[in-house]
Amino acid sequence: MNDCKAKTWPAPALSPGQQQLLEALACHLDDEAGLVELAADFQAEGHYPLAPHCYSRSVLYRHPQGAEIMVARWDAGACTPTHGHPQYAFVLVLQGRLQMEHFVATPKGLQLTGTRIKNAGEHIYASGREGRYDNAIHRVTALEPSLSLHIYSDDALKGICFD
């Protein structure tokens, strides 16, 4: 059982350039190559609080039509519950190493389909069904202290938890 409960913190102050970048990222949800290109310019400015033995969320931007952009700071060993996402999900590892276990829902429950390790500079992208929050089902474990940029087509907390 996973007892890590992520805490959401206010975003640090962002420069006008970073704010413009976040707005551009929110407009490219259905374009993986565009997200990769734009996200390369993201600088994790400011302080992102650490939740000991867990991870913290700092929401940087919410688009009026639902898109959410946040930074997660991970303590070594932190593990999310197994969860799904809205239609579009993009995660770029900024620092550290994250292990991502991917699942598919079957009539008999969740089935592990693969495990990937993502290092700084690497990303995952998933496109699923609109209006659903059981897309891109996965569990994330920080293999070392890490920082990651997350871009979703809607509030990530709407994702279905399977644990």
- Residues of the chain falling short of pLDDT 70: 1-3
Question: 101-124: buried (b, 16+ CB within 10 Å) or exposed (e) per residue?
Answer: bbbeeeeeebeeeeeeebeeeebb
Say what the pLDDT of residue 1 is.
Answer: 43
Tens of pLDDT, residues 109-131:
999 999 999 999 999 999 999 98
Domains detected in the chain: 15-158 (2.60.120.10)
Coil, helix or strand for 14? coil
54 Cβ neighbours under 8 A, 6+ residues apart: 4, 5, 6, 7, 75, 78
Say what the pLDDT of residue 110 is.
Answer: 94
Spatial distance between the Cα atoms of 163 and 85, rounded to a whole number of angstroms? 14
Say what the pLDDT of residue 2 is.
Answer: 57
**Residue 16: φ, ψ to 5°:** -55, -35
Say what the pLDDT of residue 5 is.
Answer: 75
Say what the pLDDT of residue 53 is.
Answer: 86
